[in-house]
Structure 1
Amino acid sequence: MAFNTGLSGIRAASSDLNVTGNNIANAGTVGFKQSRAEFADVYAASTTGSGSIPKGSGVLLSDVSQLFNQGNINFTQNSLDLAINGNGFFVTSNNGEVTYTRAGYFGTDREGYMVNNFGYRLQGYGADANGNVINGVRTDLRVDTASQAPRATTGVTQGMNLNAASTVPTLYNDAYTTAGGGAAGLAAARAVFDPTNPQTYNSATSVNVYDSLGNSHVLSQYYVLQPGTTNTWDVYMTLDGTALHDTAPQVPMFTTQYSSSGAITATTPLSANASAGVAAGIIGINAPLTNGAATPLTFNFDIRNSSQYAAAFAVNRVVQDGYTTGELSGLEIDDTGIVFARYTNGQSRVQGQVILASFANVQGLTPIGKTAWAESFSSGPAVEGTPRTGTLGALQSGALEQSNVELSDELVNLIVAQRNYQANAKTIQTEDTVTQTLINIR
């Protein structure tokens, strides 16, 4: 009896050594979760019971369970390295075989798919051409590495202040006065406007706009206080130095008026390349092009946020919605799993969203190697969702979750397992001595 008891103890101690050794071997394995050997005693029993004074029959390995407590998060230089801070597993697919892991080694393959270091594809929600995440449809996450197509400018919004203390430029005013004022004088004044001569305008500014091919064009604006008024301005425009305003005779693109409190009240188109907008402060601009791009370049010029106060001319805000073509320059993933692609043209676009999976019983997951687990009957089905929703944790980009093995504890466990092994071997040795004593009786 003692032989079997000691032998079961040796087997248990050996299993404990195997588990502890595996923990130590994987102390540096990203996403690894330590295991522990769990034992139970054994009693021999008959169909009528085990008696009033049962004798133990040894020990058995009842389970090897994994401890899914959080590992330390270490930061790396790779933006596609991912760590989960909290509950959940990454979902990966190998030709349709779905597995789950906490190891966040991810990159892109030659087809642009986000894969781990075994080539398994990371799962998530894709995005449409406009960068909208398609929720609820799990797919292989893929980064579109193609050049981003250009977008022609459709709107320019500009906030500025025109100086209410300004006076009519000298040359402009002289021509107006010489012609006797009135409509004739205004026409004479406008005829002297010259974008290369600062004495013919009060203020100037410019903004870049883009055509359908992604070419950049400089839209320059020149503001001239209209003679005989204190709150009406002539506005001239050029595109890459070529006049958009009429030149024969010379007429501004539009005029803009302000109230006595400095607020814009009206914008009136005058040029053939300008048209009335949907509200005061908005002018439609048509810019003819000859470079092969769609022509004319048509966009709304919005200065509703402009003012006329007694302060220096200043542009405080310029926004335009066009851009040139762009190459993929980098990827970013936020804590909710949104994958952003950044391009060399300064734009960014959502490429998808990483999902996580949770289980009712993580202890029931089946370890399959490569720091991965598979769903089992005991674990229950995977519940998928996006990071930071429900009980799922947050993602940390540019970081990896380290093994949760505590080496000092494992080294102590080695000593304990070794002593257990030796003690059970001593039990067998003692039983052997007793047996030899019986055999030697004469």
Structure 2
Amino acid sequence: MSFNTALSGIRAANTDLQVTGNNIANASTIGFKSSRAEFGDVYTSTLLGGGSNTAGSGVTLQNIRQQFTQGNLKFTQNELDLSINGEGFFIVEKNGERLYTRAGTFGLDKDGNIVNGTGALLQGFSADPDGNVSGVLGDLRVDVTSQEPRQTTAVNASFNLNANEKVLETTGQRFSTNGTGVNEAQRGAKTATTSTLAVGAVATPITFSPTNRTSFTISRLDPITLAMTDVDIVLSSGSASSPTALANLINSANFDSASPVNVEAYADPVTGQIGFRDLATGVASIVTLTIDAANSDANALTTAVSAVSTAAGTPAASHTTGIPQVTNNYGSHTLVIRGPNGTDVTYVSKYGASADKTASELNALAGVSATARTDATLLASTFSNNGSFRINGVNLTSTGLPDMTALRDEINALSSSTLFGISASIDDAGNLSVVSATGRDLEFTFDNAGGNAEIQGSQGIAQVVNDAVNGVRIGGQVTTTLQEGYSIVSSQPTTPVFGGSLFGSTNVPNFFTDVPINAFNPADQKTFNHATNTTVYDSLGNAHVMRQYFVKEPYDPADPTTSPNHWKMYVQIDGKNVGDPDPTLPSPQNTEPTMASFNLHFAPDGTLDTSRTDSMLISNWTPIGADGQPLGGLGPLNVLQGGTIPVAEPPASSNFQIDLAGSTQFGSAFGVEELDQNGYATGRLAGLDISSTGIVFARFTNGEAQVLGQVALANFSSVEGLKPTGDTMWAQTFESGEAIVGAPGSAQLGNITAGAVEESNVDLSEQLVNLIIAQRNYQANAKTIETANATTQTIINLR
């Protein structure tokens, strides 16, 4: 018996050495749990025998018990390295077998599955595209391919609109130069001349003295005012050695007088003849000379003046009347403008002033703004160019054959240089439409005879120019806007009346048109109170900029069509209108996008009045690229075609809804409180985050994030009943009981720490001591055999 007892002890000590050696060998194994050998003594007894004095029969191995105590955490900075802080096991599946482990050294295989070093698949709860975790256990997978884009179907935002903002838009009155002479083609001399009176040759030298003197009167009759001005010329001293010197003596006497007349004497440098001419160019005045015979002596000048002397205002035979340059024939007009404070300002336009000049002068007045534009039509059927055709003095060489295309292109090529602001186009009849965007007069001339141009204005008959002397001129239209509070109290042609009228009666219907002043214009930040940008995505994942403009609307308690706390939101995408077409407009405007606008109303407490605020559906957006061409993604479905709220998922159009729930109107600065839209571009996986509850959170290069699933943990009623299968994994047994599967942090399950692994719970110091103890036990049991052998040998040696 002693031999068997000692052998059982040796076997036990050997097992203890094996267990301790295994612990020491796995001191650095991630997730390893140390074991200990548990022994029991052995006693032999019979059915009826046995007693308190029975010697033991040795030792037996009862159990090798694993110690599932918590190991230390080792941080690795690898997000897929996981550790459990508390109870529970990771669930993995290998070759169809479900196993359990505390070793959280995971990575991705080529298919994106989360696996451990043996290729076992980590199990967890999958999530749908919206990030909802299903609770159904399966393989956890990370899609490493590009994330498909998602089209924006909803924009949720809340803003604070400043209640202290002022209303920017007002209502003014607009009127135009609509008189009978406006934009009417006028024909006349292209170069102005002056009125002249030829006297004749005067023999020089001539010396004047009290006994050789000349006395006469120079008179000038103004054709517009009919005013007569004159001056007496008396030459009784001085000497003139030439006709030019004589003309200088006469001019000195005129301009040195107290009331000179606007006429000068001159000498022809070739013939030496003396003449008189009006200093005003282009005025059809009459210049006359009246001799004072009683105070004149017989000399060459007296003789010459006597020959043309006539009654004042009666032209002599040698008189030539001045010809004015062709003008737009716009008469002078007087406007009296009354301001909000009751003060009147009188404006008088000048005769023949161009539309741009008149508009500039009106713009200088308070409360008044004006623009000008000139239109002319050059008839193609009668046009011919001999190479000397000019518009506003700029030579054009195109012949107009076979059509006006070449002439149009030639004009447009000069629009930013010598013909600044002047452009041309061909109308439906093939005629050339010429426009001066600034309102300058348009003048058509030829340098040489032989060409032909027939020009038509919006009023009057067409005028023809076909020589080098005359020209055709057309004036523009002035459009004037009076700011709110300003009005016209008098509109009359200036007396005396010359030229065509600029304005009709101010009392005719529709003379004044109500117009919005400072109306919303997305290109002018002075016309909206607030603006903000939001990125939205089309069905191809292309990013687009949606800009929202907020404009405070006017409120008049006396006007039931207005309401307090009313704002309007305008929306553009990539700077383009996205509102539904207006079917009441003529073609093709009835198919074009309009400015999308929505009414926002707020309650007196500053909260959004949802019952009065419009539903906001963007239903006419065609995604376009930088070149202005459609990108090929889903197009719009406007309301008339069936576009509705809510937008269907998956989307069948580019439509999306805007929800401003939570927006406010408080007396503080404009602010974006919340902003979210559900679209995104194509993205690649940029990183993973795993929370303490096991949520697998993927981050993509497009800035999006998505819940991919949740790591599952399992626990058992008796973890000591688990069966080790190697590779730091255990299998369920009958003794362990059924696996209790749940989310980390729930029930008795521990939390997960990402970026760390659980080290082996082996205490090397303890194991080394155990190793010494097992060695001594082994030696002692061997000594027992040695002693038993010696005793037995003594008995055998008895004789």
TM-score, structure 2 normalization: 0.49
Deviation string 1:323-358 (CA, Å, 9 cap, x unpaired) is: 222222222222333322222223222322222222
Percent identical pairs in the alignment equals: 50
Q: 1:131 to 1:257 in 2, by over 3 A?
A: closer
* Residue 366 of structure 1 pairs with residue 723 of structure 2: yes
Counterpart-to-counterpart distance in 2, 1:384 and 1:304? 41
Q: CA deviation at 1:46?
A: 3.0
C-alpha distance 52-319 of structure 1, shift in aligned 2 (>3 A)? closer
In 2, the alpha carbon distance for the partners of 1:64 and 1:4 equals 22
For 1:383 and 1:256, how far apart are their aligned partners in 2? 55
Say if 1:282 and 1:303, in contact at 8 Å, map to a contact too: no
Query: What secondary structure, in the 3-state scheme, does the structure 2 residue paired with 1:420 have?
Result: helix
One-letter amino acid of the structure 1 residue matched with residue 670 of structure 2: F
Instruction: Tell me what 1:57 maps to.
Output: 57
- Is 1:204 the counterpart of 2:531 in the alignment? yes
Q: Which residue of 1 aligns with 2:138?
A: 139
Aligned pairs for 1:250-265 within 5 A: 253-258=597-602, 261-265=605-609
* Higher-helix-fraction structure: 1
**When the two structures are aligned, how many residues end up with a matched partner?**
428
| Counterpart for residue 35 of structure 1 | 35
Give 3-state SS (helix, strand or coil) of 1:163's partner: coil
User: What is the correspondence of 1:14-413 to structure 2 with a 5 Å cutoff?
Assistant: 14-135=14-135, 137-169=136-168, 177-178=482-483, 187-189=515-517, 193-226=520-553, 231-244=565-578, 253-258=597-602, 261-265=605-609, 280=613, 282-286=615-619, 287-289=621-623, 290-296=630-636, 297-413=654-770
CA gap 1:364/1:228 in 2 versus in 1, 3 angstroms: closer
Structure 2 runs not aligned, ≥5 long: 173-366, 370-480, 487-509, 557-563, 583-588, 624-629, 637-653
Shift of 1:210: 1.4
Q: CA deviation at 1:421?
A: 1.4
Per the alignment, residue 273 of structure 1 pairs with none
Q: 1:85 to 1:185 in 2, by over 3 A?
A: farther
Question: Would the aligned equivalents of 1:281 and 1:303 in 2 still touch at CA under 8 Å?
Answer: no
CA contact (8 A) 2:151 2:679 kept: yes
Describe the shift of the 1:391–1:158 C-alpha distance in structure 2 as closer, same or farther (beyond 3 A).
Answer: closer
My pick for the range that moved more, 108-117 or 71-80, is 71-80
Q: Are the structure 2 counterparts of residues 383 and 161 from structure 1 closer, same or farther at C-alpha, using a change threshold of 3 Å? A: closer
SS of equivalent residue, structure 2 residue 669:
coil
Query: 1:166 and 1:361 mapped to 2: Cα distance?
Result: 71
Most deviating of 224-233 and 425-434? 224-233
Q: CA deviation at 1:234?
A: 4.4
Q: CA deviation at 1:17?
A: 0.8
Contact 1:234-1:254 within 8 A present in 2 as well: yes
Cα deviation code 1:111-132 (max 9, x no counterpart): 1222110001122233334433
The separation in 1 between residues aligned to 2:666 and 2:16, in whole angstroms, is 83
Question: Which is richer in strand?
Answer: 1
**8 Å contact kept, 2:600–2:612:** no
Q: Name the CA distance, whole Å, in 2 between partners of 1:199 and 1:125.
A: 55
| CA displacement, residues 213-263 of structure 1 (integer Å, 9 cap, x when unaligned) | 111111122333445667444443322122346898996723444455544
Higher mean alpha-carbon deviation, 381-390 vs 228-237, is at 228-237
Amino acid at match of 2:598: F
8 Å contact 1:355–1:385 — kept in the other structure?
A: yes
The aligned amino acid for 1:189 is I
CA offsets per residue over residues 181-209 of structure 1, 9 Å max, x none?
A: 9x98764426x643333233333222111
Output the CA distance in 1 between the equivalents of 2:121 and 2:162.
60
- Which amino acid counterpart does residue 354 of structure 1 have in structure 2? V
Amino acid at match of 1:237: V
Task: Provide closer, same or farther for how the CA distance between residues 251 and 111 of structure 1 changes in structure 2, counting only shifts above 3 A.
Answer: closer
Measure the CA separation in 1 of the matches of 2:49 and 2:104: 53
Q: Distance between the aligned counterparts of 1:240 and 1:300, measured in 2?
A: 17
Deviations 1:74-101 (A, max 9, x none): 2221212222222222222112122221
**Matched residue SS, 2:523:** coil
SS at match of 1:9: helix
The 1:353–1:255 alpha-carbon spacing in structure 2 relative to 1, beyond 3 Å, is: closer
Q: Normalising by the residue count of structure 1, what TM-score does the alignment of the two structures yield?
A: 0.86
CA change 1:256–1:355 in 2 (3 A) is closer
1: CA distance between counterparts of 2:515 and 2:596? 10
Query: Larger deviation: 157-166 or 369-378?
Result: 157-166
Q: Which has the larger radius of gyration?
A: 2
Classify the secondary structure of the residue corresponding to 2:33.
coil
Name the stretch that deviates more: 76-85 or 199-208.
199-208
Change (3 A) 1:172 1:225: farther
| Structure 1 counterpart SS, 2:710 | strand
Farther off after superposition, 194-203 or 94-103 = 194-203
Give how far 1:35 is off: 0.8
Task: Report the AA paired with residue 74 of structure 1.
Answer: K
Are the aligned partners of 2:170 and 2:484 in contact in 1 as well (CA < 8 Å)? no
Q: CA offsets, 1:367-404, max 9 Å, x none?
A: 12111122223223333333233332222222212111
Moved more, 379-388 or 25-34: 379-388
1:39 deviates by 1.0
| Two-structure CA RMSD over aligned residues (Å) | 3.1
- 1:295 deviates by 1.6
Q: Who is 2:237 aligned against?
A: none
For the residues of structure 1 that align with 2:747 and 2:121, how far apart are their CA atoms? 24
8 Å CA contact 1:178–1:185 kept in 2: the answer is no
C-alpha distance in 2 between matches for 1:332 and 1:208:
26
Q: Is the 8 A contact 1:41 1:59 kept in 2?
A: yes
Asked if the contact 1:159/1:318 (under 8 Å) is kept, the reply is yes
